[in-house]
A and B are shown apart, each in its own frame.
Chain A
Amino acid sequence: MKTGNPSRDVSIDALGNPANNTGFLYYERAVLLREGWSFNPATHLWSPGAG
C-alpha cells in the first residue's frame, strides 16, 4: 500500500468481485477502500485512486 503498486486479489467470486470477506482480508480491503484504493473486477487489481 505504501509503495502504491497495485495488488491482485485472488479471493474473488464468479463475477470477479471480492469474496470471503472475513478476517484480516476483510480488514485489509477496508483499509484499501479507506485509503482511496479501488477494485477492478475485470483485472482483480486493487489500485490507488478511482482505478
Chain B
Amino acid sequence: MNEVKRVLIVVLSFLIVLLGVVQPSASSLAVSSATAQCYVYDGHHHSAAWTCVATERGPPRTKDQDSTSGTVDRRSNRPSARSDRATPPVTYGYDNPRPLVQVADIAMPTEGRAQLRSAALSSQAPGRVATNTADRVVIGKMADITADGAIGSGERTLLNQLPDLGSVEANWAQNERVSYRR
C-alpha cells in the first residue's frame, strides 16, 4: 500500500512539473527582464543647421605641394622614375617669320566645276533654272558614256552617284531614283 502511494506521488509530481504549474527558475527570467527599457519623451532635439561658408571662389590659389597620399599628385610631386630622362626638353625658337602668300586658284577639272555649279543651282526652284544651263546630264550606255570625248564642257554623268550595289535589282532601283532626281 505504501508503494502504491509512493508511485502515485511520483506520478502526480511529474504531471505537475509537466503541466508547468511549478514556477520557472530565476535564471530563465533574467533574459526577458533585461530587455525592458523605458523612455521618456522630453521634446524635439534637432542638430545644428548645416552651413557652408566659402572663403574664395574658383580653384584653389595654392597647390597642395605637401600631399603625399594621392595618386593625383604622384607624378608632379615625386621625383621622376626615369632618371635617364632628367634632361629638360629641347625648345626651339621661331626665328624665321614668313609673310602670308596669296596663292592662285586651284585648278579644278571640268566635272568638279560642274558639280559645284550644280550645288549652287540646287538651291533654286527647278522652274527658274534656264533650260540651256551648263549643268547637263549625259545618259546612255556605259561604253558610250565612258568613251573618250563623250562628256563635253558643262556636262556630267551620274556615275559617281551610282555605285555598284551588288545586285541587278538594287542597281536598277538606284538608277531609277537617281535618274528621276537629276
| A9 near B127: Cβ-Cβ < 8 Å | no
Closest to B162 in A: A24
Partner of B138, one of A7, A24, A28: A7
Q: Which residues of A contact B5 (CB under 8 A)?
A: none
Closest to B157 in A: A10
Whether, in the assembled complex, A11 has its beta carbon less than 8 Å from a beta carbon of chain B, the answer is: yes
| B139 near A2: Cβ-Cβ < 8 Å | no
Q: Which residues of A contact B121 (CB under 8 A)?
A: 3
Q: How large is the interface on A (under 10, 10 to 19, 20 to 34, 35 or more residues)?
A: 20 to 34
Residue among B133, B138, B139, B145 with max Cβ neighbours from chain A (10 Å): B139
If the complex has contacts A11-B141, A24-B172, A25-B141, are A4 and B129 also in contact, measured as CB distance less than 8 A? Answer: yes
Closest to A1 in B: B180
B3 → chain A closest CB, angstroms: 125
| B140 near A5: Cβ-Cβ < 8 Å | no
Closest to A21 in B: B141
Binary contact readout B134-175 vs A (1 if CB under 8 angstroms, 0 otherwise): 011111110011010010100100000000000000001001
Closest to B127 in A: A4
Give chain A interface residues in 5-37, CB to chain B under 8 Å: 5-12, 20, 23-25, 27-28, 31
| A1 near B131: Cβ-Cβ < 8 Å | no
Partner of B131, one of A2, A6, A24: A6
Q: How far is it, in angstroms, between the C-alpha of A4 and the C-alpha of B136 when the chains are bound?
A: 10
| B139 near A25: Cβ-Cβ < 8 Å | yes
| B126 near A2: Cβ-Cβ < 8 Å | yes
Interface residues of B (CB under 8 A from A): 121, 126-127, 129, 131-133, 135-141, 144-145, 147, 150, 152, 155, 172, 175-176, 179-182
Interface residues of A (CB under 8 A from B): 1-12, 20, 23-25, 27-28, 31, 46-47
Enumerate the 10 nearest inter-chain pairs by beta-carbon distance, A residue then B residue, closest first: A11-B140, A10-B140, A10-B144, A11-B141, A11-B144, A7-B137, A3-B126, A24-B175, A8-B138, A20-B141
- Mind listing 19 A-B residue pairs with CB under 8 Å? A1-B179, A1-B180, A4-B131, A5-B136, A6-B131, A6-B136, A7-B137, A7-B182, A8-B155, A9-B138, A10-B139, A10-B141, A10-B145, A20-B140, A20-B144, A23-B141, A24-B172, A24-B176, A27-B176
